[in-house]
Amino acid sequence: MSPERYQRIRSVLDKRQTDLTVCLENVHKPHNVSAVVRTCDAVGIHRVHTVWEKKYQFRGGTAMGSQDWVRQTNHDNIGSAMDTLKAQNMQVLVTHLSDSAIDFRDVDYTKPTAILFGQEKYGATDEAIGLADQDIVIPMMGMVQSLNVSVAAALVLYEAQRQRTIAGMYNNQQLPEEECQALAFQNGYPRLFKLCTRKGLPYPAINNMGEVIADESWWREMQITKAEAEALEAN
């Protein structure tokens, strides 16, 4: 990995927002899920939460590689997801048209925030709505009173990004250094990362030049020399 590549990676990771996330409840179309993840990466979200009746995979083509940078936590049910989010002192917002719903732009997104988006056709479940702290809506002037879930997510998340940018929240690193190092290794040295994971070895540190820093015992455990590793990643 070149120094320039490493600095680009660190510039992205240093802006990651650990207290801003989305939760997708049975959003079942893979291209929608991947499009939301792509937006999450764009606004600096580190982790997304999902609740699926069956496991879906992020669609790489739509996600444009962003699935390699955004972590995913899947929950067996919405109650478990809500417990996790509220344990992190997050305000949980749900896109739902109700008498108590407020304009999504009237929310303070500088607070720890999770935004819940429900299934494409039916929206969030009654249980999810009941557990959320606030219903939010995107004002619409047309005959159709709904947007594609990925479009709705983009609108809300960019409002959150706008507020957090003004507040200077992208200026201070939130992501723990250990996680930054792991993501830099995973995406800067993908083949070494897979080999290291397969062998169950700890991830090495990456220095400011983008080089792997590991002792001889680590390389022996990897059964590969540093020179061979550099040649492997170069091909």
**What residues pair up with 221 in beta bridges, in sequence order?**
none
DSSP code for 119: B
Amino acid sitting at position 12: V
Tokens (6 digits) for 164: 């957090």
* 102 annotated as ligand-binding: no
* 147 annotated as ligand-binding: yes
Q: Which residues contact 64 (CB under 8 A, 6 or more apart)?
A: 38
60: left (phi over 0), alpha (psi -120 to 50) or beta: alpha
d(CA 116, CA 37): 13
> Helices (DSSP H) in the chain: which residue ranges?
3-13, 30-43, 60-63, 78-87, 126-131, 149-166, 177-188, 190-199, 216-222, 226-234
* Residues making up the binding site: 95, 138, 147
* Residues making up the binding site for S-adenosyl-L-methionine: 95, 138, 147
